Structure formats: structure tokens, C-alpha cells
Amino acid sequence: MKQAWIQFLPKSLRYKIEGRDNLQIIGNISWLFAERGLQMSLGLFVSISIARYLGPDKFGILSYALAFSALMQPLSALGLNAILTRDIVREPDAKDEILGTAFILRFLGGLLSYLILISLVWLLHPDDSVARLLITILSIGNIFRAFGVIDFWFQSKVLSKYVVISKSLVLCISSAIKLTLIFTQASLNALIIVLTAEQILASICLIVPYHILGNSLINWRFQFSRGKSLLSKSWPLILSSVGTIIYLKIDQIMLGEMIGKEAVGNYAVAAKISEIWYFIPTAVASSVFPSLLKSRENNIKAYKNKLQKLYDNLACLALLIALPITIVSTPVITMLYGEVFREAGLILSIHIWASVFIFMRAALSKWLIAEDLYVFSLVTHGLGAIVNALLNLFLIPNFGGIGAAIATLISYATASYFALFVHSRTVETARMMTLALIFPVRFLLKKTAKLS
């Protein structure tokens, strides 16, 4: 049945199916797409309901608090995500030591991030009790992200269906509670508490399927030398993630400080529609990563061919999303969120084009880890963060949310594409990405050549 189903996939959007590993990849991606499909439909419906209920001003306050609390997420993740998947693939018998060590490190990182965020919000907003309360509650979720290390064991085994089922149950329950709160006209504080609880449950819900498959958290053990090794590899990725979160969220924070919370509300609505598609490259790259690692060890030519196909497919998907959304951005925004959010339409038509570089960055990030180019990843993310912040300083006062969207697009392109041309080890990857960007032209030329 699987083999027959795969034959109906378009050639431009799939790998050639050869053997059990590729079948497993397709199945894994399907589960991840199913989860994100549910999040896109149910999550977007709930988000729209919250935005319409709160209005631009209060929704801006909520979005500002979410962006601010996300600033320290890299410290709670410690840049270990893909490293854990890679190490478990290479050392399956050491999984309890790897997961146990990573859990302790991420728990301590989450606790530190919480304390830093509380200090920052009291320093920056000494007279804003609402902002302090909302950010204090939301930041608690960073501590419980430590349980997310279980997800990387599932990724290493290409068994995302268990993660999907668990997280989907949490999403359905939390969505029902949020809609009930809106129906009963609950306060913003109540919504914040539910959002925090959802973050916590989404992290710890993986314990059940992990145990069902014959594993146990009791077997986890912390190994100092392993922790030292993980941190020595991940510190560039930690700083890299800081750069990423800055140029993902700094626009909303700067808009809130320089223009006002209503501007944040309009921008957040546009960003929500734009960023909701980002699950696609993450799902594809995460599922293909173990296969890429194996190809790199066995056949470099096959490894490079897989990379090129991955870049081609991701760039093509991004273009297929960006083009129609650009055309219908304003009607879509007003239909979903109402006329009060009309300003978000033009912002969306610009912001959506950042997805082209975000999609390819998902593959690039995996490649940088496979090639041990952690420092380069750090440099590119840092460059993107600096470019975004500097452009925001100039563009936001003059153009508001539209300026922030332009800054986001330029910074993503700089960090994920243009920066690759300046390093000898990444020039070939820059060439691959260039070929991916002109994939539609290459495809048409190939078809034309066949016809002639």
C-alpha cells in the first residue's frame, strides 16, 4: 500500500524511493505534516478567534509578551537539537546517557533563562505591571522544555507518529479551553495561563509514548564528560540560536517599544499567516537528516545529490506558497481577522517572501551540523540578527510594520543565502541554493529540451 501511494507523489516534490529508509522517511514526513495540518487548521482558527476577541491593541500586548518570553529559548534548548539526533544515530546504545545528560543541561538552562527574563522585564518595564505578569507566567514554559529531548530520540528512529499523536491531543484539549475562555469573555491573564500550560504539556506529553516503546526515564543518567562534550559542540549553536530568535522576534519587540502595541498586533497577525508554513521545511529536513548522515558516510555523490534535491524541493514549495499569498494577502487578512487588521495585509505580502530563505535554511542548518560548521552557523545567525536590528532602527520609525517586514526579509536573505558566498567551504552550497532558487526555470528548460 505504501509503495503504491508513493507512486502518486510528484517527482519534483519527492525523492526516488529506494529501500526501507526512504519509505520510512516518507511515512515520517506524512505524520509530521498531519500534525502541522491540524495545527494549521485548529491552531489558526483559535489564533484568529483570540485576535478578533482581543483586538489589535490587546492582541499586540499578548504578541509582545510571547516574543519577549521567546528571547531566552535558545538558552533552554542549548543548541542541542540536531546534535542529539546525530549522536543517538551514531551511538544508539548510549541513548540513556545522551538523553539524561541533555535533560539536566537543558533543565538548568531553562531555569537560568527564566531568571534572566524576569530580571529583564523588571528592568525594562518597572512601571508596567501587566507586561511583567504576562512575561513572568509565559517564561515558566522554558524550564519544562528540558523534556523535549525525548523528541530527538523519536527523530533518530524516524518515529514521529508517536510525537504527533501526543502533541495533537494536547493541542485539541488546549484549543477547546481557549475557545471556552473566549466564549465566556475571560481575561487576557486567563489566556496566558492556558498558553503556558499548553507549552508545559507539549513538552512532557512525550513521556508516555517513550515508555510504551519500552524505554524509561529512570534509566537516564548524567555523565559529566558527555555534558562537557555536548556543550563544547553546541556553544556555537546556542549563540546561533540567539541570533535566530533575535531576528525572528526582535521586530515585534522593537515595534512595541518604538510604535506601540497596536502596531505589534497588526504585524503579529501578518507574521502568523507567514510563519505558519515554516513547519514544512522543519518536518522534511528533520526526517531526511538521518538518511543524509548515512549517505555522507557511504557515498558523497549520493549525499550531494540528496542535498540538491532537498534544496530544490524546499525552494519550490516556498515559491508555491509565497506567490498566491502575495496576491490575496489583504483580502485574506480582512476575511479572517476583520477590517481592524487591514494594515496587516501589505505587511503579509512582504513578510511571506522570507519563507523562501527560511525553507532552504532548514536544510542548510542540517548540512552545517553534518559538516561540523557550527561556528559558521553562529556567524550567519549573528549577522542576520545585526542586519535585522539595524534595519529596524531605520525602517520602523519611517514605515512601521511594513518597515519591519522589509528588514525581516533582507536579514533572512543575508543570513541564509548571501553569507554563504564569502566562505570557501560554503560556496558550493550557495551554488546549490542558487540552482534551487531558479528551479522553475530549470524545470521548464528541461521539459522544453525533452519536447524538442
Q: What is the pLDDT of residues 413-432, one digit of tens each?
A: 998 999 999 888 899 999 99
More confident residue, 337 or 215: 337
User: What pLDDT, on the 0 to 100 scale, is given for residue 31?
Assistant: 64
Q: What percent of the chain has pLDDT over 70?
A: 89
User: What pLDDT, on the 0 to 100 scale, is given for residue 35?
Assistant: 67
Kindly report, residue by residue over 316-366, the tens digit of the pLDDT: 999 999 999 999 999 999 999 989 999 999 999 999 999 999 999 988 888
Question: Of the given ranges (10-14, 42-46, 79-83), which has the lowest mean pLDDT?
Answer: 10-14
User: What pLDDT, on the 0 to 100 scale, is given for residue 431?
Assistant: 93
pLDDT at residue 82 above 50? yes
* Alpha-carbon gap, residue 254 to 252, rounded angstroms: 6
Helix, strand, coil percentages in the chain from 3-state DSSP, rounded to 5: 90, 0, 10
Handedness of CA 181, 183, 185, 188 (dihedral sign): positive
Residues across the chain? 452
Handedness of CA 28, 200, 101, 375 (dihedral sign): positive
User: What pLDDT, on the 0 to 100 scale, is given for residue 267?
Assistant: 92
User: What pLDDT, on the 0 to 100 scale, is given for residue 146?
Assistant: 85
In which band, very low, low, confident or very high, does the pLDDT at 10 lie, cut at 50, 70 and 90?
very low
Place of cell 527574563: 117
Mean pLDDT, rounded, of the chain:
82
Please state, as a whole number, how many other Cβ atoms lie within 10 Å of the Cβ of residue 408. Answer: 29
In which band, very low, low, confident or very high, does the pLDDT at 32 lie, cut at 50, 70 and 90?
low
Return the amino acid letter for 16: K
3-state secondary structure at position 140: coil
pLDDT at residue 433 above 80? yes
Q: Which three cell numbers stand for residue 244?
A: 535566530
Angle, alpha carbons 399-404-409 (nearest 5°)? 125
Kindly report, residue by residue over 49-80, the tens digit of the pLDDT: 999 998 888 888 888 888 888 877 777 777 77
Is 224 exposed, middle or buried, given 0-12, 13-18 or 19+ CB atoms closer than 10 A?
Answer: exposed
User: Which pTM was predicted?
Assistant: 0.72
Nearest alpha carbon to residue 401 among 241, 232, 259, 247: 259
Question: Of the given ranges (175-189, 231-245, 256-270), which has the lowest mean pLDDT?
Answer: 231-245
In which band, very low, low, confident or very high, does the pLDDT at 452 lie, cut at 50, 70 and 90?
low
User: What pLDDT, on the 0 to 100 scale, is given for residue 30?
Assistant: 67
In which band, very low, low, confident or very high, does the pLDDT at 17 lie, cut at 50, 70 and 90?
very low
Is 267 exposed, middle or buried, given 0-12, 13-18 or 19+ CB atoms closer than 10 A?
Answer: buried
pLDDT at residue 37 above 80? no
* Alpha-carbon gap, residue 109 to 88, rounded angstroms: 21
pLDDT at residue 21 above 60? no
Handedness of CA 321, 46, 149, 287 (dihedral sign): negative
In which band, very low, low, confident or very high, does the pLDDT at 403 lie, cut at 50, 70 and 90?
very high
